[in-house]
Structure 1
Amino acid sequence: MSKEMISESLLADIMSVSKRTVESWKKNGKVKSLKDGCYSLSDLDYFPQVKAMIESSWNKEQAIKPIKKYNSIELFAGAGGLAIGLEKAGFNSVALNEIDKDACATLRKNRPDWNVIEGNVSNIDFTVYKNIDFLSGGFPCQAFSYAGKKLGFEDTRGTLFFEFVRAIKEIKPKVFLGENVRGLLTHDNGKTLEAIKSVIQEIGYTLIQPKVLKAIFYRVPQKRERLFLVCIRNDLVKYSNFEWPEPFGKILTVKDALLKGNLYDSDCPKSQGQVYPERKKKILAMVPPGGCWVDLPDEIQREYMQKSYFMGGGKTGMARRLSYDSPSLTLTCAPAQKQTERCHPEDTRPLNIREYARIQTFPDKWKFVGSISSQYKQIGNAVPVNLAQAIGRKLIALLNNIENQII
């Protein structure tokens, strides 16, 4: 660990700052690079983020295993990113609900033994699953209407959060996990999260302080951030020993995703993918790895950016080519959208299906069903498998502790 070397761009990723900020740190002596411009992690342990990586108990956490079978239910399951991670951590899936037919077909194709309930969550009677250990779901964050000052469970009716909570009320799991976009923290000036907190309290659960987890710290080669809410039934809170997962000691990059190495034991298999129109391909061929529209000649910038050229700001997702030496930008539902371009580091084409899946740390044997655009959407919406597994292990540790205390 002490000899782990990182580039300037990886240091910027670890610290959640721009490369320009790292350059300014270098000028004023806050950080010191070695002769080749790289940094030694061990020389940067005065940064809490780096210290956490160096002193991490990641290897110890790998040993966490369930002391009994913990049955789980997942709502809004999508194509299975969270479900695979929780399965790897040791959960036994009893039911998964998803409304999208292609995502359901994906789940069934890969796990014929899983109980996949296709359809609208509002039509499901959850009382048949009463007292299952654990419930999870990435409930879509719809806006609530704030008629009263204090928003209760009934006031969220008509939203998918209401259905998520109804399932919790009917099942009464020991623990549940809610997963959402980082933006939920600040949505409607924080009112949405406050409403969610008050509803969780109302139904008899204690919310651990929510945390945004950055996927790059959990063996995911992608700068994705997700907000996690861990809630424990009030009668069991006294047994809680929940801690957030510790970071992996290395930041993985697009190279780790697409080529044989730290993550996969072979290069990425060939697969279908979107293609660029000829003119766009010629323009993107001029963009260097890690570059974007600002690296194009001015006249090409004007042609490609059109009105956006005059609007100022970064817009660094436009004409963006990934680099083998950095984690991927967050994957979206399509790799060739103009605002969120995800061009292959070497070839001038969008990332293909299997490359998309690897950046989300899906196993190569996990197959997706549906049109190409549907497959991209399923993968882009998923929780990265390795991130799900990391938090899953700590949830298993929590349930183990509860089990040991109440026996």
Structure 2
Amino acid sequence: MSVMVQKLNTSNYIRELRKKLGLGQRELANLIGLGKDGERTIRGWEAGEHKPSTLKWGKIVDLEKEMQNFYDNAPLKQGNINAANFRFIDLFAGIGGIRYPFQQLGGHCVFTSEWDKFAQKTYLANYGDMPNGDITKITAKDIPDHEVLLGGFPCQSFSQAGLGKGFSDTRGTMFFEVQRILANKRPKAFLLENVKQLRGHDKGRTLKMIMEILQGQHEQEIPEDIPMSEESRHALAVKLNYWVDVRVLRAGDFGAPQNRERVFIIGFDKDQYPNVNFDKAFCWPEPPKTPTRVGNILQTKEELEEDREEYGKDRFTISDRLWEGHQKRKAEHKTKGNGFGYSLFNADSEYTNTISARYYKDGSEILMDQSHIKKNPRKLTPRECARLQGFPENFIVNAVSQNQIYQQFGNSVCMKVIEAVAEQMVNALSTAESLSQDTSQTKAG
């Protein structure tokens, strides 16, 4: 075989396999362990400019079997789409904290987007689906039709940790990616999630702008210096007409022992349901406010010992040096008159602080007291983080490194809150469909 024919066969094989598996070039690069220039490498392979090494070629050849293995063993994989009650998409998906409750209520996820390669791996291991990458590079026409749009759009630019930059930060402009998809695909409903600080950002003007855009009431031009795709800027000319409401909900009020507050924005398309009063059709879930206890999410002494034996060390008790550093910083902050520093909890605590993406660094926001066994405090285990965020017990927490899974749970939503909101949304859609059918039959009669 000539070198040219061999290159063509290799490039065609890679391209066709990637398309068969529904993967982008970046996603394929992530799966076979290429570095930061992996997408460029895949592009070169498919163009026949160069060939993969023997090792990488082996990984490519084995990929189809590996993907099937992921699907077969994914604990949260969905059923057949023909049995679904509605279709939905999962944007800025993280590790799928918003997806699962809607899936459990009869929805079928037809599209997922998540750019972080480590979150993609956890998502793939649990759902058997490889998320598409950067949503800014995916046109609306390439996104399947759907009835419900879900999106926990990036929140760092609205959070205290992100210094509140809002729309001046590229992460803040991800809302406009949601808007362009709504404008092009017109789903019947949406659920958006963000940090509590969004409500007060820029004295409430940021949230007001978001609400007005979703309602089709926004007149002000978006400044040219705010970075967004051309499709997003063009889509702003489309007037949406959603009924929209917003609420701050707290995880601790829905059975999760965590003082985590998030903003939720709900919308229903008034153009598709012109005769439905969503002020009556949709009700925010009533928090049961059942008593919570941190001990309910903790692993047993035996489980912690099994982990120590498996890894040959205690992975969660913090070192003497780190513990001394925590105590020193807390004492320094106390003399300045503020309460910054570590936070200590035990099994009888009512709830913990909010777990954050930085938890992997030192665990300072949630440390479990171990003074009763004469040990330094410890971090929560990955399984305990999953429980704190309301994830099911069969959720795989070791598809990535310990540091990565900590970041992923810190960035995730509390699934118990989503479960309550999702139930109300699906009920409202069912009510709207029934009212619309009754109206149509009355007119026909």
Partners of 2:363 and 2:379 within 8 A in 1: no
2:187 is equivalent to residue 173 of structure 1 = yes
**Aligned 1:208-227 pairs, distance under 5 A:** 208-227=244-263
Other-structure match for 1:229: 265
Deviation at 1:270, TM superposition (A): 5.9
Q: 1:319 aligns with which of 327, 332, 342?
A: 342
Aligned partner letter, 2:100: I
Partners of 1:274 and 1:336 within 8 A in 2: no
Closer, same or farther: CA 168–340 of 1 in aligned 2, 3 Å: farther
Partners of 2:255 and 2:416 within 8 A in 1: yes
Larger radius of gyration: 2
Aligned partner letter, 1:354: R
Q: 1:132 aligns with which of 140, 146, 167?
A: 146
Partners of 2:211 and 2:244 within 8 A in 1: no
TM-score (normalizing by structure 1): 0.68
What is the aligned-residue identity percentage? 29
Q: 2:284 aligns with which of 244, 247, 256?
A: 244
1:209 is paired with a residue of what secondary structure?
strand
Closer, same or farther: CA 336–204 of 1 in aligned 2, 3 Å: closer
Deviation per CA, 1:240-276: give whole Å up to 9, x if none: 300001222512221121268xxxxx97896585552
Deviation at 1:88, TM superposition (A): 2.5
- Tell me how many residue pairs correspond in the alignment: 306
2: CA distance between counterparts of 1:385 and 1:158? 23
Closer, same or farther: CA 194–268 of 1 in aligned 2, 3 Å: farther
2: CA distance between counterparts of 1:355 and 1:269? 15
1:238 is paired with a residue of what secondary structure?
coil
Closer, same or farther: CA 372–130 of 1 in aligned 2, 3 Å: closer
Deviation at 1:68, TM superposition (A): 6.4
2: CA distance between counterparts of 1:331 and 1:374? 14
Q: 2:321 aligns with which of 279, 283, 287?
A: 279
Other-structure match for 2:410: 380
Closer, same or farther: CA 335–68 of 1 in aligned 2, 3 Å: closer
Closer, same or farther: CA 378–136 of 1 in aligned 2, 3 Å: same
TM-score (normalizing by structure 2): 0.63
Partners of 1:206 and 1:231 within 8 A in 2: yes
1: CA distance between counterparts of 2:333 and 2:261? 27
Closer, same or farther: CA 269–89 of 1 in aligned 2, 3 Å: farther
Q: 1:255 aligns with which of 277, 295, 307?
A: 295
Other-structure match for 2:242: 206
Partners of 2:189 and 2:267 within 8 A in 1: yes
Partners of 1:137 and 1:179 within 8 A in 2: yes
2:366 is equivalent to residue 342 of structure 1 = yes
2: CA distance between counterparts of 1:339 and 1:190? 32
Aligned partner letter, 1:199: I
Closer, same or farther: CA 375–72 of 1 in aligned 2, 3 Å: same
Other-structure match for 1:332: 356
1: CA distance between counterparts of 2:266 and 2:306? 38
Closer, same or farther: CA 247–274 of 1 in aligned 2, 3 Å: same
Partners of 1:140 and 1:160 within 8 A in 2: yes
2:425 is equivalent to residue 395 of structure 1 = yes
Closer, same or farther: CA 278–345 of 1 in aligned 2, 3 Å: closer
2: CA distance between counterparts of 1:244 and 1:86? 16
Point out the structure with the larger helix share.
2
Closer, same or farther: CA 140–336 of 1 in aligned 2, 3 Å: closer
2: CA distance between counterparts of 1:269 and 1:383? 29
1:177 is paired with a residue of what secondary structure?
strand
Closer, same or farther: CA 158–181 of 1 in aligned 2, 3 Å: closer
Deviation at 1:172, TM superposition (A): 0.5
Partners of 1:130 and 1:173 within 8 A in 2: no
**Aligned 1:101-120 pairs, distance under 5 A:** 101-112=117-128, 114=129, 116-120=130-134
**Structure 2: tracts of 5 or more residues without a match:** 1-82, 158-165, 217-238, 438-445
